[in-house]
Amino acid sequence: MLGTYTHVGGPSPLRAGVSYSYPFGLHAPQLATSEHCLRLPWRQRHAFDDLGAVEHEEQAEFVGRVLREAHVSYRGTAPGEYVFSDAATAESALLALALALGADWI
């Protein structure tokens, strides 16, 4: 389940022809209690103490909406980051996104 999934376009607000990445990984993997997370591509804005911004605002809007509608619980620790309580919840998030996009990730 860990890995980066990509999909071009999708339903509103995603834009046609744009390739979006959905990287699922571990949050704080150096800790013994690392958690599963989805971290959308982001960029640093100005300083190193800046949390940055997601590459595609519409992607963050779409992911948040899909997770809320699927009743997948998460906590956000930075822009475009969705941290899940366990692997099963992360798997539910991946499934919800795949269904919303019509992707064949599963």
Stated as kind and residue range, the H or E segment containing 26 is strand 19-27
pTM: 0.84
Strand spans (E) along 35-95: 35-39, 42-43, 53-54, 81-83
Token digits of residue 77: 């620790």
pLDDT, average across residues 66-90: 91
pLDDT of residue 4: 81
More confident residue, 72 or 1: 72
Q: What is the mean pLDDT of the chain?
A: 85
pLDDT, average across residues 5-9: 86
Chain segment 15-62, per-residue pLDDT in tens = 999 999 988 888 765 555 678 889 898 877 676 666 678 889 999 999
pLDDT of residue 28: 66
Residue ranges covered by each domain of the chain: 3-101
